[in-house]
Amino acid sequence: MLPDYGETEILLVEDNPTDLELALRVLRKHELANRIEVARDGAEALDFLFGEGAYAGRGGLQIPKVILLDLKLPKIGGLEVLRRIKGDPRTRTIPIVVLTSSQEEKDLVESYQLGVNSYIVKPVDFDQFSDCLKQIGIYWLLSNAPPKVNAP
């Protein structure tokens, strides 16, 4: 029996509207965006996952198959979002892919120390960008086998 991941397969946390549009276009094109949720800042992302704030009363905890996380975000930054998700036993198992423009070594190192599952530098070239997103989607939604949601 497949575990119930609720409505959402992908949580895309992205504040840049053009990056968001490009990402959504690629995911849709490859039919990976059927059950996608978009958060425009870190706070919104956390509220969604923990069923708080604007998401209160929408069924509590949400466990997507993968979170695509930008680092430079308004309100609560990407690294802080990463820290909170990986620091909470209820959300720790959710695979997180950092998808960022930052090539800074310290961002990379800190992300891995916080337990990120993958770190992707967004290519400027659109072909490479779309190829990259497609692979991420296919890998985490189709190839990867996640643990049961309520496993301890």
Partner 1 sequence: MISTPPRRLRSKKATSETEPTSVLTERKRAAEAAAELAAIVESSDDAIIGKDLQGIITSWNAGAETMFGYAASEMIGHSITCLIPPARQNEEAEILGQIKRGESLRHFETVRVRKDGSTVDVSVAVSAIKDRTGKIVGASKVVRDMTEKGRAAQALIASELRYRRLFESAKDGILILDAETGMVVDVNPFLITTLGYSREEFLGKAIWDLGFFKDTWANAEKFSELREKEYVRYEHLPLETSDGQKMEVEFVSNVYLVNGHKVIQCNVRDVTKRRKAEETVRQLNANLEQRVILRTAQLEAANKDLESFSYSVSHDLRAPLRAISGFSRIVLEDHSAGMDADGLRYLNLVEKSAQQMGQLIDDLLTFSRTGRQALNVQPVITADVVNAALDDLKTMQENRRVNISVGDLADCEADPSLLRQVWLNLLSNALKYTRKCDPAVITIGSRREGGMDVFFVRDNGAGFDMKYADKLFGVFQRLHLTDDYEGTGVGLALVQRIVQRHGGRVWAEAKLNLGATFHFTLTGGHDAA
* Footprint on this chain of partner 1 (rule: CB under 8 A): 16, 18-19, 22, 25, 71-72, 100-105, 122-127, 129
Q: How far is the CB of 26 from partner 1 (least distance, A)?
A: 9
Q: Which is nearer to partner 1, 86 or 122 (CB)?
A: 122
Pick between residue 50 and residue 129 the one whose CB is nearest to partner 1.
129
> Distance of CA 99 to CAs 5, 13, 51, 118, Å?
22, 9, 24, 9
The residue among 4 and 21 lying less far from partner 1, judged by its C-beta, is: 21
Residue closer to partner 1, measured from CB, 4 or 104: 104
Q: State in angstroms the smallest separation of the CB of 127 from partner 1.
A: 7
On whether the CB atoms of residues 14 and 68 are closer than 8 A, the answer is yes
CB of 87 to partner 1, least distance (A): 25
Strand ranges (E), 22-70: 36-39, 66-69
**Which residues does residue 100 pair with via DSSP β-bridges, in sequence order?**
121
Please give the Cα distance from 137 to 30 (Å, whole number): 9
